[in-house]
Structure 1
Amino acid sequence: MAIDQDPPRRRFLKAGVAAGAALGAGSVAHAATNTPLKQLKQPVDPMLMVEPFFGEHQAGIVTPQQSHTYVAALDLTTDKRDDVIGLLKTWTDAAARMSRGDTAKPLPADDKAAPDSGDILGLGAAGLTITFGFGPGLFTHEGRDRYGLEKRRPAALVDLPRFNGDQLLPQKTGGDILIQACANDAQVAFHAVRQLARMGYGIVAMRWGQAGFLSGPRGQTPRNLMGFKDGTNNPSTAQPALMNQFVWANAPDAPWMNGGTYTVVRRIRITLEHWDTMERGFQEQVMGREKYSGAPIGKKNEFDALDLDAADKDGNQVIPENSHVRLSNQATNNGAQILRRSYSYNDGTDFYIERWPPWRQETEYDAGLIFVAHQSDPRTGFIPINDRLAKFDMMNQFTTHVGSAVFACPPGVRPGSFIGAGLFEA
């Protein structure tokens, strides 16, 4: 999928706080005219971009990808339903404010309160989107229905099975509530999650958090750390029919989820040291695509259709049987598709000891992919697709899934309501 974005860059605005004030004034003008922000001309500067928080669907799902993300999962520590509702209302107000470039709460006249860390003053909204999701633990926790919501758990919000090769770390897996902030600046994204987590002290506790980044020229599919374009085969977000078919939820057992989506997050570590020693031709066989152009092997252009029947002069498949693109393609998965919205991550290095010959000891990168997939139902989307990949994908010799979570992301919110309000209605 071609992604419309500016190259990532971090810098202070020349106008500083004055620019932030001007942005705030623009937001007020928008509210007065009630003109959809999507129809307004966005500024060239990615730090001044504003994405609307309120709408039919949550932002950050089909929104053109920003250059940075901070995704976090939190666990609920309260047994009181009213605490959860109150927090979601507080978060809705704060998220709407931050999405237009404002602080999480109004700045006080005195110095006796700390409503916001203030580290984003003068930076602008940077295209910030904040997306919320509910994990299985919101509905049932250790066999208990804490909030009277068990009967409203959607059938599609299934516990993910253990896939072949999974080496999941408890500290990177699960969570009752998802917060994903995406922005054209790393600090803006982290600031949003940081403020929301602070507001939830006593009600939620951070389970895990992960920063990510995305690189690529404006209007082109970005490349992951393996050097290949990532997201080429996504269903087009510009076609509502495809989004209704593959992304937006619409099931009679959970009408409160209509217009929402089910989101799978996987932390995939990539052994870049191993991958980087492979010849380009072999890498292309693993992927099933040309590395430089992104085209399917045997084709010239990135978006050329896959020819899964093509054979070389010796009768061998041009696109290998166990290549990533063949196994993940719609044509080999009963027509199923998911919307990938992934980010790369780099968390420094770890010391590593091999438990088999030649018994190497070395420092390796803790880097890889924050895989994020949206779909109308994981049972027909991510689960069967990933099951085939986990068993047969050549890429598995370079990747390990170490984190996993699934969430029901409710539809968008209208002014005066709060995120997930439909779930709590009697």
Structure 2
Amino acid sequence: MLLGCIGDDFTGSSDLGNTLTKAGMRSVQYVGVPDRPAEAGVEAGIVALKSRSLPVAEAVRQSLAALDWLMAQGCEQILFKYCSTFDSTPEGNIGPVAEALADRLGAEQVIFCPAFPAAGRTVYQGHLFVGDRLLSESGMENHPLTPMTDPDLRRWLARQVQGEVGHVAAAQVFGGPQAIRAAFAASGARHLICDAIRDEDLLALGRAAQGHPLVTGGSGIAMGLPEAFRSAGRLSGAAGGWRGQKGRAVVLSGSCSNATRGQVAAHAGPSLPVRIEALMADEITSRCATEWSLAQEGLPLVYSSAEPEAVRAAQERFGREAVAEKVEGFFAESARALVAHGVTRLITAGGETSGAVVEALAPAALEIGPEIAPGVPCLRAGPDLVLALKSGNFGGPDFFAEAEAMLGRDA
């Protein structure tokens, strides 16, 4: 294994696997820290954790355990992957996990770059944009678990780390790998927020990071990392190869993002709304949702996705943690029951929802398949089960139908 990756959620980890597979690395996504060595021939191993919203100490513990396993597989560089919208809180995990990994690896400088231009995420002058909006005006300010109210990543990260936070500006990034390395050398900061507004910038940053034991960012930063291994003739070229899966498909959506709510509204098939109040009162259960889904024609959608005001009201009434636990448990149990009753294609929307579903199904590893939308690949979880794990803000209005079709198609 050449490149070791630690993802703080399952959708982001599959996004990363998609990027690395397209770049020519044979990549495998593991669900949690494996208890056995990797199979031969894996060039990029991705340990997918569900650590984004965990208490800091637990997120650090799990991430270090993942690091230890990856280093035992022979990895020469580590990538810590978080969301392209830098999902965290001022007391959050990104900074502490990165510092703990850097300390373990002896890394003197750490790159931070969540940019993903293909999905509209760019970093300019240290600020994160979603499309033409600052992060804090993109809808992410209403995220139920990690509301992003400040788009200045330098300021946000500085609240989470001990070391100094510096900045590699767009003008330096545009100069290419040599100019970027010079900017690294000129900065006295341990943590460096790097601008990137184009794929070319991410490729340059990845190449400039050659020799850095630790890189952090969204999946886009991985675009340039395989080149060092390729140029040394160390990639097999065995990435790719996919067979689709026929059979029943169901969509489970817990995301309340703007994009997902638009996808729910655009869905032409049967839909079952799940109100949080009804869920908390056990007026609707996973058994109800399973029986309803199996009785439908077409592509059934079960969703708790709601307007931010409705989510806030439910959190105030029942408690944020209680709501999150109930919603995730509902989707986890629904997924288990649906697969047990013969569903072979499962589409999920939302990082927390996807994480709960994958933990419930407990596949040992996920085979990375073709891309459905930027950042969302097909995944094989077993001989008769394929998944699409969609981060909340990813995909176009017709994503659910596109995912159903792609999961059933051979490469």
TM-score bracket, normalised by the shorter chain, equals under 0.3
Greater relative contact order (CA < 8 Å, ≥ 6 in sequence): 1
TM-score (norm 2): 0.23
Q: Which has more helix, going by share of residues? A: 2
